[in-house]
């Protein structure tokens, strides 16, 4: 029996005996993604989407890429757009539906580029547009401090969790980026953390505040060794689980949400700290392009949602504090004074 936290073997996309069939070519596509530096989480999501796609095609007798026509893809798109959740029968979120269709488009683009297909049946397959909305919740400075104060830093896990929360707040790292950090990725002397595989496989260097670095150092000095069950299994991951392996994404989210709820804020989990860092820095004068670099956004437009949040906060403060912000009934003398 594998120990708790051990990685499960990857299930192939299907029967791989035919090198020209969809499952084998799908595995070649996923291997290509890994070779060009795509993140393990992205590849895992793509594998899930392709498996669903190939199983749907198999049920309809389609086994090879050349048999996939535009009409077939339109039917699959309709199938995905009508898909519902298993647990409560609600429609899938729009982003979930898009993430089931995007890998199919990318797969056929790969097949044409590598010479497996002469033409791309998915080239003009339109996908629904995902509207980028404002973050639903952003913490105030006071709320952030309340959450950071919750972990019991007298315990091993409490000290680890405080270091994690401080780093999330200070750096704005994504959940997957924090999980992938190694001990050697933290440069305390220069106040930097190296993200070696961000979204899209892109690396970047992120500044980290002195307070977060102090908590990370305390965790390294006092807690991390307590979490290593066997030195031979220590792969150098910065933050370890209670069973000595790297933290899982769901474990990290549940941990962050537990502290958010305990502080009485109840607004989210890991990504909440990313939104909060960006918004608070903008409110205190940071240039939006600096925030773009910190967050690892490819497009400035993605980062500019935080400027909207900052303006909304400014309007709220204006309405609460400006003497003329509240409406009052006009008086006759106002009219005479203006005439």
271 is catalytic: yes
Annotated active-site residue in 100, 162, 174, 175:
174
Handedness of CA 69, 74, 76, 77 (dihedral sign): positive
Geometric angle at alpha carbon 223, from 219 and 224, rounded to 5°: 85
* 160, burial (CB in 10 Å: exposed 0-12, middle 13-18, buried 19+): buried
Question: Quick one: which of 321, 293, 295, 292 has its CA closest to 304?
Answer: 292
Q: How far is CA 325 from the centre of its chain?
A: 39
Annotated active-site residue in 137, 218, 257, 271:
271
Question: Quick one: which of 134, 133, 142, 135 has its CA closest to 265?
Answer: 142
331 is catalytic: no
> How far is the C-alpha of 334 from the C-alpha of 332, rounded, in Å?
5
Annotated active-site residue in 160, 175, 199, 267:
199
322 is catalytic: no
Annotated active-site residue in 76, 169, 219, 306:
306
> How far is the C-alpha of 202 from the C-alpha of 133, rounded, in Å?
24
297 is catalytic: yes
The torsion angles phi and psi of 87, rounded to 5 degrees, stand at: -80, -40
Residue 75 exposure: Cα atoms within 13 Å on the Cβ side: 10
CA–CA distance from 139 to each of 57, 253, 287, 295 (Å)?
Answer: 46, 17, 20, 17
Number of neighbours of residue 31 by Cβ within 10 angstroms: 10
Annotated active-site residue in 100, 267, 275, 297:
297
Annotated active-site residue in 47, 162, 274, 275:
274
Instruction: Write down how long the chain is.
Output: 339
Dihedral over alpha carbons 94, 95, 97, 99 (to 10 degrees): 170
306 is catalytic: yes
User: For tokens 């956004």, what's the residue?
Assistant: 297
Which distant-in-sequence residues (6+ apart) come within 8 Å of 323 by Cβ?
none
Handedness of CA 55, 61, 66, 69 (dihedral sign): negative
The tokens for 62 are 């389609």
199 is catalytic: yes
Give catalytic residues, as residue numbers: 174, 199, 271, 274, 297, 306
């Amino acid at each position: 029996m594998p120990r708790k936290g051990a990685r499960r073997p990857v299930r192939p996309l299907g029967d791989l005996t035919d090198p020209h069939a969809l499952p084998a070519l799908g595995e070649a596509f996923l291997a290509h993604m890994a070779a060009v530096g795509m993140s393990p989480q992205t590849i895992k999501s793509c594998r899930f989407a392709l498996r669903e796609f190939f199983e749907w095609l198999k049920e309809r007798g389609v086994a090879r890429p050349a048999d996939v026509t535009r009409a077939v893809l339109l039917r699959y798109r309709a199938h995905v757009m009508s898909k519902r959740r298993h647990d409560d029968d609600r429609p899938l979120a729009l982003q979930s539906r898009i993430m089931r269709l995007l890998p199919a488009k990318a797969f056929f683009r790969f097949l044409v580029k590598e010479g497996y297909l002469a033409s791309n049946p998915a080239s003009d397959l339109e996908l629904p547009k995902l509207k980028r909305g404002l973050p639903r919740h952003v913490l105030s400075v006071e709320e952030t401090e309340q959450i950071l104060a919750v972990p019991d830093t007298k315990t091993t896990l409490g000290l680890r969790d405080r270091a994690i929360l401080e780093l999330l707040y200070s750096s704005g790292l994504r959940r997957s980026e924090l999980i992938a950090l190694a001990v050697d990725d933290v440069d305390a002397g220069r106040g930097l953390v190296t993200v070696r595989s961000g979204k899209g496989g892109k690396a970047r260097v992120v500044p980290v505040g002195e307070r977060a670095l102090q908590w990370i150092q305390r965790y390294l000095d006092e807690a991390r060794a307590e979490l290593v069950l066997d030195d031979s299994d220590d792969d150098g991951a910065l933050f370890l689980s209670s069973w000595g392996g790297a933290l899982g994404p769901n474990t990290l989210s549940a941990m962050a949400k537990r502290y958010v709820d305990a502080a009485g804020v109840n607004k989210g989990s890991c990504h909440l700290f990313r939104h909060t860092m960006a918004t608070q820095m903008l409110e205190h004068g940071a240039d939006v392009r600096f925030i773009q670099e910190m967050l690892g956004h490819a497009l400035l437009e993605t980062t500019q949602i935080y400027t909207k949040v900052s303006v909304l906060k400014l309007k709220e403060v204006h309405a609460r504090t400006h003497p003329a912000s509240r409406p009052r009934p006009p008086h006759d003398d106002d009219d005479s004074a203006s005439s």
